[in-house]
């Protein structure tokens, strides 16, 4: 278990479940700084929820939120999310989680979607571009690629007017193309330098060389981590 500003999160240390990463913790920090704890938001959807950390954290700090929706493509994260909601909400029926086993929005029943759409959608998706090495990287871990990142950006317009999403400097070409495709407006809420710690990628020298030369990943010798990238928190309005 970890505890962060009153939020308790349990997880199993095996794929496809990991503890909240530094980028997710930074997203929560930015949401607090930008006033999302005081905004009148009645419902939220956390896509690719993992342990449920993002949705639970926002629901804890915002007293107006009544319904919290979570979706993930894997069953284990949803089970852990339900457990973590129980730990944090302790019988608050207004914040009982609604869980959906779904790839992006495709398996969320229409009757479960609020009539006016979701007030806010939040997502911290995988953001490691595969750069032609799909077969190698997907074999190692399901979190490779930018597929969910692109789909959430292009499809959220049907389900809500505002998306807060994490993105790395490595995936900016895919992100910017998706934003342009749907004609949305993207604003940077915050950014920070982040160590590259996707261990399975280090097995493939050609991939790492391409990542360094093409995708704004920086190599440093005088730090505990050899490679660094910039992590962004974007707000997209539709």
pLDDT in tens, 119-138: 999 999 999 999 999 888 87
Cα separations in angstroms, 34 against 102, 147, 188: 29, 28, 11
For residues 191-216, one letter each, b for 16 or more C-beta atoms within 10 angstroms of the residue's C-beta and e for the rest, the string is: eeebebebeebeeeeebbebbeeebb
SS (H, E, C) 42-78: CEEEEECCCCCHHHHHHHHHCCCCCEEEEEECCHHHH
Nearest alpha carbon to residue 177 among 159, 151, 196: 151
**What is the pLDDT confidence band of residue 142, given thresholds at 50, 70 and 90?**
low
pTM for the whole structure: 0.94
Q: What is the pLDDT of residue 69?
A: 96
**What is the pLDDT confidence band of residue 92, given thresholds at 50, 70 and 90?**
confident
What CA–CA distance (Å, rounded) separates 117 from 44? 10
Q: What digits encode the pLDDT tens for the residues 13-70?
A: 766 677 888 999 999 999 999 999 999 999 999 999 999 999 999 999 999 999 999 9
Query: CB of 157 within 8 A of CB of 184?
Result: yes
Looking at residue 96, what DSSP letter applies? -
Question: Residue ranges per domain, the chain?
Answer: 2-237
Q: Is the pLDDT of residue 189 over 70?
A: yes
Phi and psi for 86 in degrees, rounded to 5?
Answer: -60, -40
Nearest alpha carbon to residue 175 among 237, 214, 129: 129
Topology of the domain comprising 2-237:
Rossmann fold (3.40.50)
Would you state the structure tokens that stand for residue 126, as one six-digit string? 């995988």
What CA–CA distance (Å, rounded) separates 80 from 9? 9
């Amino acid at each position: 278990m970890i505890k962060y500003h009153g939020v308790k999160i349990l997880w199993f240390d095996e794929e496809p479940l990991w503890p909240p990463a530094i980028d997710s913790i930074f997203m929560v920090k930015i949401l607090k700084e930008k006033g999302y704890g005081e905004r009148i938001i009645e419902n939220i959807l956390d896509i690719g929820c993992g342990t449920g950390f993002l949705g639970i954290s926002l629901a804890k700090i915002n007293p107006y939120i009544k319904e919290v929706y979570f979706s993930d493509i894997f069953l284990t994260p949803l089970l852990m999310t339900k457990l973590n909601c129980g730990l944090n909400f302790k019988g608050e029926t207004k914040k009982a989680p609604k869980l959906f086993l779904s790839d992006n929005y495709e398996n969320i029943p229409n009757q479960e979607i609020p009539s006016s759409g979701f007030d806010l959608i939040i997502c911290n998706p995988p953001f490691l571009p595969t750069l032609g090495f799909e077969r190698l990287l997907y074999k190692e871990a399901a979190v490779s690629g930018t597929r969910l990142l692109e789909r959430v950006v292009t499809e959220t317009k049907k389900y809500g007017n505002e998306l807060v999403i994490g993105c790395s400097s490595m995936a900016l070409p895919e992100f910017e193309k998706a934003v342009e495709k749907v004609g949305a407006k993207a604003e940077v809420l915050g950014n920070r330098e982040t160590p590259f710690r996707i261990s399975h990628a280090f097995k493939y020298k050609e991939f790492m060389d391409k990542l360094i030369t093409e995708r704004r990943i920086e190599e440093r010798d005088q730090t505990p981590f050899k490679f660094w990238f910039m992590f962004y928190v974007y707000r997209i309005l539709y």
